[in-house]
Amino acid sequence: MAAVSSNKKLKTPEVVVDETWFSDPDFCRESKKWCVLSKTLGEEAAWKFAKENNIDLVSINSSTVLGPLLQPTLNETSSRILNLLNGAQTFSNFVSGWVNVRDVANAHIQAFEISSASGRYCLVESVTHVSDIVKILRALYPTLQLPESKEGEEERIVKRKKNEEWRRKSGVYDPRKVEHLYKLEGAKERLQLYKASLMEEGSFDSILDGCHGVFHTASPCFLQTKDPQSELIDPAVKGTVNVLRSCAKSPSVKRVVLTSSTASVNMNGRYRSPEVVVDETWLSEEDLNRKSNKWYVVSKILQEEAAWKFAKENNIDLITMHPATVLGPLLQPTLNETSSYILNLINGSETYPNYTYGWIHVRDVANAHIQAFEISSANGRYCLVESVAHFAEIVKILHQLYPTLQLPNRCVDDQPLMPTYQVSKEKAKTLGVEFIPLEVGLKETVESLREKNFVNF
């Protein structure tokens, strides 16, 4: 199956892979899947030679093979099961197809003996995540010591399982806006909500008493404003400093994780093209964005500057997270700014914006925040960007996901499309960020908008 399914096509529970699928050699090279690349190129060469030399060829594309070993030595696929049985503390975060060796052998024989057999054959009995393999093994061998968590998550899950020692205190201003939080699993036992105001100094003092980690995620996020100073800049800057001031008063606080944005990273006038790689060393420029009235960007620039200044002066262990445009299911019942971008596209808009954005899944953002607190070596700034794509590409993906949906077919202006660029993932990967594909984030956003009745189709 390595020569069949390794491409950029979206794979979800509803998607059916068949013999018409082909792996993409360029994708395999980019992701350094060398074994997959070898199988892809091997099949291409075989079909080319067979056609040129009139050879009756049939290709059998089996998935991960299970079953008894014929040989005395260990093969690659059996070693995956042995690792699970043999003391591994974690399992791979990986989904694979599985098939029994007897089915593979029989298929080969029948492909030779049945005269009408032709072309390619996929051999997959089940498609299952390794976590389900562990679950089945546990049911078969209840006394066996098997891994409890996937790679990169063990520290977080162990801490949560040990008497759920992560208790969450959250400061909120309007209780009506957070009623949905009480419905979350475990909220009754572990979630405490307090009334607080970002603009009121000392408002968070009592809330942070006894807290070890502070995640400051609250900052206005909208692009249109009549009064940028009071609506965007003051809550972002003064609000952040007020929270940090309360942190400085609390001896229990060990680390603060601040949600910033790529808006404070790459809005600086530097030329961006497909070859340019943005990373954590980039800084946005305040004056440039003031002149162009990009007030949200200005608020994020000033917020981060104020946060780092206060943290340095008061010896606070601060980490800033810089997510791009966030996709994925909505937790709250109301529409946020970034989800509205997608809603506009699927809800009758005739044109799409001439913009190129970075995109990231909300689960990756949440996980990165947790890991930034828990991993002691984490430090500084982290860019969180899975893909950089123009809205034209977003529309294209949405059309592939929902072929019957009426989507905009032209850009809002006649100017050349804003170029894409790259954002380094290297530092974010040290936090175990898995980078859920853009296609998955778009699909989950749309399905969430449908579920919450923002759109009906």
Position 10 pLDDT exceeds 80:
no
Domain assignment present for 156? no
**What is the pLDDT of the chain when averaged over all its residues?**
88
Domain assignment present for 182? yes
| Residue-level pLDDT at 89 | 59
Domain end marker among 149, 184, 199: 149
Task: Tell me the C-alpha to C-alpha distance, in Å, between residue 154 and each of 3, 335, 366, 388.
Answer: 32, 33, 16, 30
Strands 356-361 and 387-390: antiparallel
| Mean pLDDT within 141-168 | 54
Domain end marker among 132, 149, 166: 149
| Residue-level pLDDT at 367 | 94
Position 417 pLDDT exceeds 80:
yes
CB of 5 closer than 8 Å to CB of 127: no
Q: Which candidate, 280, 287, 379, 356, places its Cα nearest to that of 323?
A: 280
Strands (E) across 75-209 are located at 90-91, 95-100, 119-123, 126-129, 149-150, 168-172, 191-195
Domain assignment present for 7? no
52 or 90, which is more confident: 52
Residues 66, 201 share a domain: no
Residues 6+ apart with CB under 8 A from 318: 244, 255, 256, 257, 258, 307, 308, 311
| Residue-level pLDDT at 362 | 95
| Mean pLDDT within 208-225 | 85
Position 318 pLDDT exceeds 70:
yes
Strands (E) across 367-423 are located at 380-384, 387-390, 410-411, 422-423
Domain assignment present for 163? no
CB of 357 closer than 8 Å to CB of 325: yes
Residues 188, 140 share a domain: no
pLDDT > 90: percent of the chain = 65
CB of 365 closer than 8 Å to CB of 384: yes
Residues 406, 318 share a domain: yes
Split into its structural domains, the chain has a count of: 2
CB of 294 closer than 8 Å to CB of 261: no
Residue 87 main-chain phi, psi, to 5 deg: 100, 5
Type of residue numbered 22: F
Domain assignment present for 167? no
**The domain containing residue 78 runs over which residues?**
25-149
Position 292 pLDDT exceeds 70:
yes
Residues 361, 299 share a domain: yes
| Residue-level pLDDT at 160 | 36
The tens digit of pLDDT for each residue in 386-414 reads 999 999 999 999 999 999 999 999 999 99
Position 154 pLDDT exceeds 50:
no
> Which listed residue (195, 300, 427, 429) is catalytic?
300
Position 157 pLDDT exceeds 50:
no
Task: Tell me the C-alpha to C-alpha distance, in Å, between residue 243 and each of 40, 253, 257, 340, 371.
Answer: 54, 12, 11, 29, 21
CB of 7 closer than 8 Å to CB of 23: yes
| Residue-level pLDDT at 238 | 94
| Mean pLDDT within 74-97 | 76
The tens digit of pLDDT for each residue in 180-201 reads 888 888 888 888 888 888 888 9
Residues 253, 122 share a domain: no
| Residue-level pLDDT at 149 | 55
Q: Which candidate, 293, 262, 296, 291, places its Cα nearest to that of 279?
A: 262
CA distance 326 to 386: 10
Residues 63, 116 share a domain: yes
Position 85 pLDDT exceeds 90:
no
CA distance 259 to 300: 10
CA distance 315 to 249: 11
Residues 115, 210 share a domain: no
451 or 337, which is more confident: 451
The pLDDT confidence band at residue 427, using thresholds 50, 70 and 90, is very high
CB of 213 closer than 8 Å to CB of 254: yes
Strands 356-361 and 325-327: parallel
| Residue-level pLDDT at 40 | 93
Residues 72, 202 share a domain: no
**Three-state secondary-structure class, residue 9:** coil
Type of residue numbered 4: V
Residues 187, 142 share a domain: no
The tens digit of pLDDT for each residue in 322-356 reads 999 999 999 888 888 889 999 999 998 999 999 99
Domain assignment present for 1? no
User: CB atoms < 10 A from the CB of 338, how many?
Assistant: 20
Residues 203, 111 share a domain: no
Residues 275, 416 share a domain: yes
Q: Which of 193-207, 267-281, 347-361, 419-433 has the lowest mean pLDDT?
A: 193-207
Strands 95-100 and 126-129: antiparallel
Helix (H) or strand (E) holding 351: strand 351-352
Q: Residue 162 catalytic?
A: no
**Three-state secondary-structure class, residue 322:** strand
Angle between helices 438-451 and 337-346 (to 10 degrees): 80
| Residue-level pLDDT at 166 | 52
First to last CA, the chain: 35
Domain end marker among 149, 167, 198: 149
CA distance 376 to 371: 9
Domain assignment present for 168? no
Residues 393, 276 share a domain: yes
157 or 65, which is more confident: 65
CA distance 65 to 349: 48
DSSP string across 270-288: ----TT-EE-TT----HHH
The pLDDT confidence band at residue 93, using thresholds 50, 70 and 90, is low
Residues 6+ apart with CB under 8 A from 282: 265, 266, 268, 270
| Mean pLDDT within 7-13 | 80
User: CB atoms < 10 A from the CB of 81, how many?
Assistant: 14
What CATH number should be reported for the domain holding residue 323? 3.40.50.720
DSSP string across 42-99: HHHHHHHHHHHTT---EEEEE-EEES--SSSSPPHHHHHHHHHHTT-SEE---EEEEE
Q: Which candidate, 341, 427, 340, places its Cα nearest to that of 384?
A: 427
Residue 320 main-chain phi, psi, to 5 deg: -115, 135
Domain assignment present for 196? yes
CB of 120 closer than 8 Å to CB of 61: yes
